[in-house]
Amino acid sequence: MQELLRIAVTVVGKEEGAYRWRLIEQYGEDWHVLKQQSRSMGTYNAAMAAGLLELQKMIDDLDVGPREEGPEVVTAKKSGPVFGFGFGLPKLG
């Protein structure tokens, strides 16, 4: 099995009510930005949840996580709703 990639979701908040997610990946000792949100969100919670959803879109199989590409066969993405890690879901009512 290929090595697990070191990808993290972080939230940057330059001011109250202006939060943006960033996906960062570690190479050696350094972290590099893979993707970042273009528009701010009103809460840390919303930005973190959106970042986690964005990370999930990049992963072929959530049961094994993001892996380095290599000679192994990559399975197709699972269909259906994105999981969301159990928080950041919209409040109903």
Would you list the domain boundaries of the chain?
7-80
* CA–CA distance, 10 with 44 (Å, rounded to integer): 10
The CB-side HSE value for 66 (13 A sphere, CA atoms) comes to 15
- Torsion sign over Cα 5, 11, 14, 20: positive
- Of the listed ranges 46-50, 53-57, 63-67, 76-80, the one predicted with least confidence: 76-80
pLDDT at position 2 is 83
Read off the tokens for 84.
């969301």
pLDDT at position 17 is 87
Model-wide pTM > 0.75: no
Q: Is 90 exceeded by the pLDDT of residue 78? A: no
| pLDDT tens digits, 43-58 | 999 999 999 999 999 8
* CA–CA distance, 4 with 52 (Å, rounded to integer): 17
